[in-house]
Amino acid sequence: MKVEKFIEKFKDIRVAVIGDLILDEYLFGEVERISPEAPVPVAAIKERKINPGGAANVALNLRALGSDVDLFGIVGRDTPGGELLQLLSERGIGIEGIIEVPDRPTTLKTRVISQGQQMIRLDREVTSPIDDELANKILRRVREGLDDIDAVIFQDYNKGLLTAYLITRSIELFGERLKAVDPKLDNFFTYKGVDVFKPNIRELQRATGIKIKNDSELLGIMR
């Protein structure tokens, strides 16, 4: 199948994306001196850019291919959460499945960049698993739009959203619809019954405890 025809198929479907939502923040500055408080550079920030990250970035990629996309996850009731919701809404992503929670910050990854080099990355996040009560709220949002959804992608970044409970209940809900997973180690073996399972080599080796040396060994493990 030619690439063009393959891409055309994305325009006929509605995809649900369930996963960890991240706001990527980039601070661009100039370093002209060393701090008198400690031997570290002082960056004078000149510009700030923000982009949806994590599962939100996956949703944007699907939208760029022409799919309708409904995103399910959580953000904090904070400024980064509001910025992320606005960015997604402006780019045509369905955000009705995103729940704002007051006691957990939006995952924010801040990169400070000077002269084309990343100086430091600062992560603000809580990665503890969500409780079943919050998972059930997400599942209710999924049920409300389920009739229009053709496929689902689980995008796991180990930030606490995709618990074993939410994963198994979601798989049951989506039934015969196409189910694809980009897993992380914590719930690697929880995704039973999915159609596409896409770990990278490092994740597969860590999960199975097997050092993969060639394609034959890789195929053997996947079977």
pLDDT in tens, 124-181: 999 999 999 999 999 999 999 999 999 999 999 999 999 999 999 999 999 999 999 9
Confidence grade of residue 192 (pLDDT, cut at 50, 70, 90): confident
20 or 218, greater pLDDT = 20
By residue range, what is the domain housing residue 133? Answer: 3-22+53-103+126-222
Domain count, the chain: 1
Cα–Cα distance for residue pair 199/159, rounded to 1 Å = 17
**Mean pLDDT across 50-64:** 97
Which one-letter amino acid corresponds to residue 63? R
Domain membership flag for residue 114: no
Please indicate whether residue 44 or residue 223 has the higher confidence score (pLDDT): 44
Q: Does residue 153 belong to any structural domain of this protein? A: yes
Domain assignment present for 194: yes
State the DSSP string of 50-93. EEEEEHHHHHHHHHHTT-EEEEEEEEESSHHHHHHHHHHHHTT-
Per-residue pLDDT tens over the stretch 113-137: 999 999 999 999 999 999 999 999 9
Q: Which long-range contacts (CB under 8 A, 24 or more apart) does 121-130 make?
A: 124/80, 125/159, 126/160, 127/158, 127/159, 127/160, 128/160, 129/160, 129/163, 130/74, 130/160, 130/161, 130/163, 130/166
Q: What is the pTM of this model?
A: 0.88
In a domain, 136, yes or no: yes
Query: Per-residue pLDDT for 2 more than 60?
Result: no
**What confidence category does residue 17 fall into, taking pLDDT thresholds of 50, 70 and 90?**
very high
The values of phi and psi at residue 69, to 5°, are -135, 130
Evaluate whether residue 42 is within a structural domain: no
pLDDT confidence band for 5 (50 / 70 / 90): low
Q: The domain spanning residue 148 has which CATH number?
A: 3.40.1190.20
